[in-house]
Structure 1
Amino acid sequence: MKLLDLHNLSQKRLAALQSAGIHHPEDLLMFFPRRYIDKSNFKPIGFLSETGEPVSVAGKVQSVNVTGYKNKRRLDVIIRDESGSMKAVYFKGWKYFINRFKKGSWVALYGTVKQYGRYMSMAHPEVDEISGPDDVEKFQSLIPIYPSNKHFSKAYITNQLVTDWVQQILSSTTVPEFLPNQILERHKFPIRDKALHYIHQPENINQSDRALERFKYEEFFLFELSMAKIKNIRISRAEGKILKPGELTKNFFNNQLPFKLTEGQKNSLKDIRVDLQSGKQMNRLIQGDVGAGKTVVAIGSMLMAVDNGMQAALMAPTEILAEQHYHTIKEYLEPLGINHRLITGSQSAPLRRDILSDIAGGTCQIAVGTHAIFQDKVEFNRLGLVVIDEQHRFGVKQRNELLLKGNNPHLLVMSATPIPRSLAMTIYSDLDISIIEGLPGGRKPIKTAVRTDKERPGVYNFLEESIKKGDQAYIVYPLIEESEAMDLKDATMGFEKLKRRFPDFRIGLLHGRLKPEEKDGIMKRFSEGEIDILVSTTVIEVGVDVPNASIMIIEHAERFGLSQLHQLRGRIGRGRKQSYCILMPGQKLSKDGRYRLKMMIDTTDGFKIAEADLKLRGPGDFLGTKQSGLPEFKYGDILEDRITLEQAKNDAWQIVRTDNELSKPEHKSLKKVFEPYFKTKAEFFGIG
């Protein structure tokens, strides 16, 4: 059957269907109802009451009248059964509905009842013609309501027309099954053909729910199967250089590092060491809360590469973070004689040529940079390890482009944004995961409080006393300059007010519009104690590490996301002093805004905060980019359906372990469906 075989399908309607991604009859079968109207709540007219719940009634049409005048006309229809009478009222489209009612005929109505005058009334009820009082069973059913759009409306594609088309396809098509029998039996799923009937023609809500569960599982399963296969391909194809800790690595940890590693850092380094000595390409994610010490783990990993005559590259999402990493590496590794270079997009041409020559010649042992590091002109001599910081800010394709710079270099990605397990199971399915739990010793938990604008004098007094004791502070604003569209305090205006309020203190201003050298200079002065209060936008969200900074005030805190607030708070509490984060919201607080502020007070656990943020914003907004590699599931939700997701992952990975090529007879149908699906995923993840 072809789409053009559908009855009443004009070219205009065909174009409208295509606008919704419907090009084949199978696409229309996978165009699921967005909800169902349950008409099973059937009542005699004399027993109706104002419950606010939709009900079904049936009766004989007693009268059909148009009342009112000009543009305020309406249609009044009185129907009656043995128990009483009621009125149906139509204000809009009455010219259409008047043809649905004929005096003496029987109709069934569905809608919400209200008392108006002496009649119980329904405004704009759905109407079905029936032959008589005994013909109500067909009316007592679930009615699918399909998604619509402006193209559907212009082409006069009604819900009833979509219903008719779907039924036409279902009656002339048998949909083949591809899930293995053992999976269908294990989870008690209906076969695919029956599940589609349950979706589009359910007898009860349990049928449609069970069928939908099957299709959620199906798309999770195909995705997890592709992730398992990608990981298998990488393991089997990518031989990694064997990198063992040498003198530089041992010297760094035994003599140069000024503190003891936490257990979380030790465990992560152990995982990395095992990977680097396995002879296979490492693909590992290091996850840890803000301040967990991921940078030290990265430095240790890069030293293992240098110990074995290889180069290492560290890529960060912003120049300010790349510069921070560069200076940290310089502080730790300069005594070891390590040649490391910084490469960013804003460098002068002569300096850039010198850096590129150093990298290509192999004299640069560690290269640190932004996305500029994977551009075509950057050529490595013997790249052995790639470290990507704040992985979720880069696309999967960008990650793969950097890997192409070397001959199967090892990959270590890091994230200071804690990612809930359900999300990590999807976007990082192709990676092994290590979590750095706990914070370095000697750090005190940050105390967080909410203060209103009326309490600002007290906040400023506390700030003044703290700075006189030698502390430093951040004051963070959501905007750089005043915006008429949003009533937010901006950084530049706040900077001027703070200079007037604290004339004896040294106050700096940092924002994204400054030149890199200006930002670097301000941060250097702040880190060296030459600035008491740093007024900033969110450019200090990640990477900037000033142990003496113990106070952070966040203006209009309700306008920030939870994870962003947590990242900002993580800039303090880096030293041994007690640190304080003061959240100052605007006057109008939404329900979500109150919830975010309460979460910040209740916990400093980044994983709990990330879980709450993910629930508020959803996966796409949480990650902030379509390029993150997050799959767009059509039916399933990785938060609401996490149990189904985990079941699908376990089943998929078990199949790959026992039948990687899907060559067993019971996987023949699955292979036919999976191969074209996998091709697109393999291309996306750089697997040929």
Structure 2
Amino acid sequence: MSVSVLDTDIEFLKGVGARRAEPLRNVGVKTFRDLLRYYPRRYLDRSTVTPIRDLESGGEAVTVVGTVAAKGTIPGRGGKRRFELRVQDESGGTLKCVWFRGAQWIGKGFSVGDRVAFHGKAEQYGRTFSMAHPDFDKLDEASANLATGRIIPLYPGGAALEKVGLTSRSFRRLIYHLIKEHGLEIPEVLPEWLIDQYGLIPGNVALRALHFPKNAAELGRAKRRLKFEELFFLQLLLALTKGKQERVPGPVLGGFGPLTRQFVEDVLPFELTGAQQRALKTIAEDTATGRQMNRMVQGDVGSGKTVVGVAAMLMAADAGYQAAFMAPTEILTEQHYANIRRYLEPLGLE
């Protein structure tokens, strides 16, 4: 597929139009290229569907495919209502699906006789199994018959998409025609030698197989290829970034200066472990080269990573620089602030 076709606005794909384009854009599907990368959230086939009679309480989330036998809104306390479905499958079992929120909206989406795939954790109450707020996908005639051995992709959805008729069935149809018309034109983004070296399938084949796998083995090969591709370009981006950083000089620090030594020898109520000493030695050597340093200190909780970080900051302070210590959450920030403040006060630093 040429770049111009890949970058065509999704609105102009046959079957989309302006009305469907807006909710698609809101989920990140803005171009033909984005639609090809709108991956299924899971798959249905005989090996992934659990018969209702084989359900077990308290286990992992499972997928059940059945027919809606009855539906209704049940009044509850305080004027609240819940929506319930009674679902039956070929095993003769019955499953109750319950929604305590959005009962009115959920109820409009089901009719008796609908063939539906439900995904969630099953809990047993008396003799009946129940799922609360399960994910669900209404199945068309083609995807409802799992006995054919087909693997059916199910796509991420939501109220906004379903409001304009964009269900898993709709996505399958749109992607099928897109691949049918332009599949052979999808460019290969990996060099041939790399594909051969790692035994990967072509990119256009992988995209087709991810959306329309012929069998489980082909689906596995498609996932492997696309995962490799994603990680390859991530590593390539990191390598390019590192290359740019190496061309920009960094400050030259002097290793263990007076503040750093006082912190390690006098302030800390314990001796550094061998691993901490090795980490700080490496940091001191790196920061003495005049190149930018990026290091990841890895260790279990309580292994002393913060102490290494504080000592590295003190190396910068000894060289006349300022340093910042960042944390990903407010709670963790407060904890680090309290600990680091306790370390720095004896040194006369803030």
The question of 1:165 aligning with 2:174 is answered yes
| Counterpart for residue 127 of structure 1 | 141
The question of 1:19 aligning with 2:26 is answered yes
The question of 1:325 aligning with 2:336 is answered no
| Counterpart for residue 147 of structure 1 | 156
Q: Could you tell me how far 1:253 is from its partner in structure 2?
A: 5.8
Is the Cα contact below 8 Å between 2:260 and 2:314 reproduced in 1? Answer: yes
Q: Could you tell me how far 1:8 is from its partner in structure 2?
A: 3.5
Is the Cα contact below 8 Å between 1:241 and 1:281 reproduced in 2? Answer: no
The question of 1:207 aligning with 2:207 is answered no
SS at match of 1:222: helix
The residue type paired with residue 321 of structure 2 is: Q
1:448-597 equivalences under 5 Å are none
The residue type paired with residue 219 of structure 1 is: E
Q: Could you tell me how far 1:25 is from its partner in structure 2?
A: 1.4
The residue type paired with residue 162 of structure 1 is: F
| Change beyond 3 A, Cα 1:257–1:181 | same
1:671-686 equivalences under 5 Å are none
Q: Could you tell me how far 1:169 is from its partner in structure 2?
A: 0.8
Q: Could you tell me how far 1:180 is from its partner in structure 2?
A: 2.0
The residue type paired with residue 27 of structure 2 is: A
Is the Cα contact below 8 Å between 2:153 and 2:211 reproduced in 1? Answer: yes
The residue type paired with residue 168 of structure 1 is: H
The question of 1:6 aligning with 2:13 is answered yes
Is the Cα contact below 8 Å between 1:110 and 1:127 reproduced in 2? Answer: no
Q: Could you tell me how far 1:254 is from its partner in structure 2?
A: 6.5
Which consecutive residues of structure 1, in runs of 5 or more, have no partner in the other structure?
Answer: 42-49, 56-67, 72-91, 98-108, 113-123, 130-135, 334-339, 343-688
1:245-644 equivalences under 5 Å are 245=256, 260-289=271-300, 291-294=302-305, 297-298=308-309, 300-302=311-313, 304-305=315-316, 307-308=318-319, 310-315=320-325, 318=333, 321-331=336-346, 333=347, 340-342=348-350
The question of 1:93 aligning with 2:111 is answered yes
CA distance in 1 between counterparts of 2:168 and 2:342 reads: 62
CA distance in 2 between counterparts of 1:40 and 1:257 reads: 58
CA distance in 2 between counterparts of 1:300 and 1:137 reads: 61
Q: Could you tell me how far 1:15 is from its partner in structure 2?
A: 2.0
| Change beyond 3 A, Cα 1:319–1:8 | closer
| Counterpart for residue 77 of structure 2 | none
CA distance in 2 between counterparts of 1:110 and 1:243 reads: 67
Is the Cα contact below 8 Å between 2:11 and 2:18 reproduced in 1? Answer: no
The question of 1:156 aligning with 2:156 is answered no
| Change beyond 3 A, Cα 1:212–1:321 | closer
Which consecutive residues of structure 2, in runs of 5 or more, have no partner in the other structure?
Answer: 56-62, 74-109, 119-137, 328-332
1:401-459, Cα deviation, whole Å (9 max, x unpaired)? xxxxxxxxxxxxxxxxxxxxxxxxxxxxxxxxxxxxxxxxxxxxxxxxxxxxxxxxxxx
| Counterpart for residue 207 of structure 2 | 196
Is the Cα contact below 8 Å between 2:45 and 2:146 reproduced in 1? Answer: no
Q: Could you tell me how far 1:295 is from its partner in structure 2?
A: 5.8
CA distance in 2 between counterparts of 1:295 and 1:34 reads: 38
| Change beyond 3 A, Cα 1:243–1:137 | closer
Instruction: Give TM-score, length-normalised by structure 1.
Output: 0.33
1:174-185 equivalences under 5 Å are 174-185=185-196
CA distance in 1 between counterparts of 2:308 and 2:272 reads: 9
Is the Cα contact below 8 Å between 1:6 and 1:168 reproduced in 2? Answer: no
CA distance in 1 between counterparts of 2:268 and 2:64 reads: 70
CA distance in 1 between counterparts of 2:27 and 2:198 reads: 31
Among all aligned residue pairs of Structure 1 and Structure 2, give the percentage whose two residues are the same amino acid: 29
SS at match of 1:170: helix
CA distance in 1 between counterparts of 2:22 and 2:166 reads: 11
Q: Could you tell me how far 1:177 is from its partner in structure 2?
A: 0.7
SS at match of 2:205: helix
Is the Cα contact below 8 Å between 1:240 and 1:282 reproduced in 2? Answer: no
Q: Could you tell me how far 1:223 is from its partner in structure 2?
A: 1.7
Q: Could you tell me how far 1:178 is from its partner in structure 2?
A: 0.8
The residue type paired with residue 30 of structure 1 is: R
Q: Could you tell me how far 1:275 is from its partner in structure 2?
A: 1.2
Q: Could you tell me how far 1:294 is from its partner in structure 2?
A: 5.0
The residue type paired with residue 32 of structure 2 is: P
Q: Could you tell me how far 1:4 is from its partner in structure 2?
A: 4.0
Is the Cα contact below 8 Å between 2:297 and 2:305 reproduced in 1? Answer: yes
CA distance in 2 between counterparts of 1:20 and 1:291 reads: 40
SS at match of 1:283: coil
The residue type paired with residue 26 of structure 1 is: R
CA distance in 1 between counterparts of 2:166 and 2:301 reads: 52
Instruction: Give TM-score, length-normalised by structure 2.
Output: 0.61
| Counterpart for residue 466 of structure 1 | none
| Change beyond 3 A, Cα 1:192–1:249 | closer
CA distance in 1 between counterparts of 2:301 and 2:149 reads: 57
| Change beyond 3 A, Cα 1:265–1:34 | closer
Q: Could you tell me how far 1:18 is from its partner in structure 2?
A: 2.0
Displacement over 6 Å in runs of 4+:
50-55, 109-112, 254-258
The structure that has the greater radius of gyration is: 1
CA distance in 1 between counterparts of 2:305 and 2:44 reads: 52
Out of 202, 209, 228, the position equivalent to 1:217 is 228
| Change beyond 3 A, Cα 1:128–1:190 | closer
SS at match of 1:237: coil
| Change beyond 3 A, Cα 1:166–1:241 | same
Is the Cα contact below 8 Å between 2:250 and 2:292 reproduced in 1? Answer: yes
